[in-house]
């Protein structure tokens, strides 16, 4: 389940509880979250919201309801999925053993689900990658026919000797490389968003070290 969870990150899917409409379905208990991990719960921007870098307009000492992850996320017109393999557990990153997430609606789903993709996870993936349902027709392959060849007598000539000439290999030393720019992250929360490396232009530019993008300095 954990492997599938990470594979879906690679395919571009964020955590379910960061959906743009998440506040209709869950309440984030910021006061119960470990210091330094609050950004894991920041809400994603909706498809029609202006693009921006990750930012946080804090309200109160431990309130981060106005913090945004900085990247857009689509719901694909599908319902919020408590049973998604991308949904956090209710006590993830808890500093005191209390819930960091409280559900606003009743559900029979297992949270967190690490058994496999939910039906909505599968549907979401199909919509995102425009996959079509297809039926594979069964085919019958006839058994191969074995023919026994008649014995024959062949006369084989020995091949002529092969003479090889080895040429000396000349190597030219590569010119000394010029002084390269330092490979560093210029955004504080790069490690929290490494799952969108290669997807987000902002990450590729400001998180070169985290995104292993140092060869494109």
Domain ranges of the chain: 2-128, 182-217
61 vs 50, more confident: 50
Q: Which residues are annotated as a binding site?
A: 5, 9, 15
Average pLDDT score over the chain = 79
For position 213, what pLDDT does the model report? 80
For the stretch 63-72, pLDDT in tens is 788 888 878 8
The catalytic residue positions are 6
Q: Which residues are annotated as a binding site for Zn(2+)?
A: 5, 9, 15
Of the candidates 93, 87, 92, 89, the one whose C-alpha atom is nearest the C-alpha of residue 36 is: 93
Mean pLDDT of the 153-179 span: 47
CATH architecture of structural domain 2-128: 3-Layer(aba) Sandwich (3.40)
Per mean pLDDT, which of 30-39, 56-65, 108-117, 150-159 is the most reliable?
108-117
């Amino acid at each position: 389940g954990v492997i599938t969870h990470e594979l879906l990150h690679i395919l571009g899917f964020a955590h379910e509880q960061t959906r743009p409409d998440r506040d209709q379905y869950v309440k984030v208990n910021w006061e119960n979250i470990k210091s330094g991990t609050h950004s894991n719960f920041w809400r994603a921007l909706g498809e029609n919201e202006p693009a921006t870098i990750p930012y946080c307009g804090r309200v109160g000492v431990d309130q981060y309801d106005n913090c945004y992850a900085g990247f857009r996320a689509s719901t694909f017109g599908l319902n919020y999925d408590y049973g998604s393999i991308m949904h956090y557990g209710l006590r993830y990153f808890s500093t005191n053993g209390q819930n960091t997430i409280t559900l606003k609606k009743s559900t029979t789903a297992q949270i967190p689900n690490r058994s496999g993709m939910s039906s909505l996870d599968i549907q979401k993936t199909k919509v995102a990658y425009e996959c079509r349902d297809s039926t594979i027709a069964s085919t019958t392959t006839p058994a191969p026919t074995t023919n026994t060849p008649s014995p024959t007598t062949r006369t084989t000539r020995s091949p002529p000797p092969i003479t090889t000439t080895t040429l000396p290999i000349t190597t030219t030393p590569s010119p000394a490389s010029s002084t390269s720019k330092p490979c560093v992250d210029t955004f504080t929360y790069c490690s929290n968003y490494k799952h969108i490396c290669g997807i987000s232009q902002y990450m590729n530019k400001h998180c070169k070290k985290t995104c292993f993008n140092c060869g494109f300095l």
